[in-house]
Structure 1
Amino acid sequence: MTETSASRSKKRPLRKPLLLVLTVVSAVVAGLALFNRDDYEQADLPFITRQIQGHKVWSATVRDKEQRIEITTTDGQRFHSEWKNPGQARELVDALQEVQPAGGYTIEVSTTWLLLGPLEIFVGAVLIAVLVAVSRRARRFQKDR
């Protein structure tokens, strides 16, 4: 075996884990981009309130943790707005209870950050799998030396 072929064989084991890591990172970034799409158009809170009070809301979701409301109007348009004052959330919920949109409404209250969604669990599992695979490859590479 010549020196150049010996040096090539030593570099090759590192190529596969690096390619694997790059592929996984690319897949995770692409997945996050797809899951984090926001199809709601930004609107101010008074506009959202007028839509609710005017019975023009088909469905609504109040997200307490993000201080955000998302509505779908009766003509299919989708809007979202944020609030700063906690009292505004109560006013929105009261208005929704009074109007009772045809498609219903949801109030999401998150009390702890420890509850993880499916996306966070998936990303965590992928990262752990990548770390385990890379550490195994590194151990094998060190044994072959």
Structure 2
Amino acid sequence: MTPDLLRETLKEVLYGPDLRFGLGTGLFSEKEAGLLRAAHALTYAQAVTPAAPGRPSAAGVVIHLRQHLDHAAALLRDPYALRADEPEAWEHAPPTEREWRGELVGLAQAGQALYEALFLPLDSQGLRTAYAAVLHAAYHTGALRFYLGNLQAGQG
């Protein structure tokens, strides 16, 4: 996968597919089905409530993705970059709505950082790292959309 294709795929994962060509779906998603839209659709209460007993909350997924995208972008800039020293995403929930909103901003910034890193000259390991990060984000976006869909179905 080329850096150009990786950038286009990342944009789709973050924002949903580009529908200029008349298609109703993209490689990973449908219209308006990007990661950022799904995450922003969750209320604070929905985000911090686990999907089921023993399962992580949506906030945990968002924090995990922010950390993962940040680290992937850092690795593309410096293959020896270390992960930030932060709480384990799966066990952490933002204690306030303001901190939840901050995580949403951080997620968008992490996506942008990875997008910008995809303009760097990448060797085969860098391409694998970028590809894995984009696929990982697509996987968790699907999980968030599924959780959000269940919440919305329960309200109707």
Greater fraction of residues in strand: 1
Larger Rg: 1
Q: TM-score range by the shorter chain?
A: 0.3 to 0.5
Greater fraction of residues in helix: 2
Larger RCO (CA under 8 A, 6+ residues apart): 2
TM-score (norm 2): 0.33
TM-score (norm 1): 0.35
